[in-house]
Structure 1
């Protein structure tokens, strides 16, 4: 799904993997492309994590969002984009199971 230049939209550009802030930057990228966390995450996260999510959501204003659904075919093949949109939800409980994914039409495509 990634272009041949080892491009990864979630890999932070100006931070090393070993940096303490690396994971935060990855989550910020996911938020920017796939939208906010649904309110129901309060059911599974403690208060501190919920506060962190709210802060994160305020760190990226709406005009800085880059919805993945608008990625062009020049950047990602249409079939790949549709597959990613089916699986990427900020609440993992909304994502398909591995078994469901293995039955996805994307794996049967040539």
Structure 2
């Protein structure tokens, strides 16, 4: 809400019941946590995760709120994905790659051999020309400023995502 120079007067956070301290066993061991279509790439890959996973979810929530309550970019599309519930996380990861990929090459620095091989396979089999499609969304759908803000958040490698503090200082919050 507009109130003086601030675009928002109050922001509240909620916990859906599976909140973990960043240094507890779950995050440091890469234990998956959260609804599959909302979790970050590192959570799907069962890599250690941290507060950057929350930043990813915030970015998805931003898009969700912009487009409406029945819209989630990471919900797998097509009959094959719907039939293959067992591999839902993989289908979600493919959607993440479609909209926000690819993984940067440096991701192998934080992944074991199995994950590195998985990422290499995804890179070979997922057409690179169809990765990072969020950047080409029309300004009729989403303003350039909003699109750039979302893309600053939705980085496939958590080390490239801004912190909550960085986000709060982002130029996006200032009026034009």
TM-score range, shorter chain: 0.7 to 0.9
- In structure 1, the partner of 2:73 is 9
**Cα distance between partner residues in 1 of 2:115 and 2:175:** 39
- Give the TM-score normalised by the residue count of structure 1: 0.80
Counterpart of 1:81 in structure 2 is: 147
Larger Rg: 2
Alpha-carbon shift at residue 52 of structure 1 (Å): 0.6
Q: Which runs of 5+ in 2 are unaligned?
A: 1-62
RMSD: 2.4
In the alignment, the residues of structure 1 paired with residue 113 and residue 97 of structure 2 have an alpha-carbon distance, to the nearest angstrom, of: 19
Tell me which of 95, 101, 107 is aligned to 1:41.
Answer: 107
Q: TM-score, normalised by structure 2?
A: 0.53
Question: How many residues matched?
Answer: 109
Runs of 4+ more than 6 Å apart: none
Structure 1: segments with no counterpart, 5+ residues: none
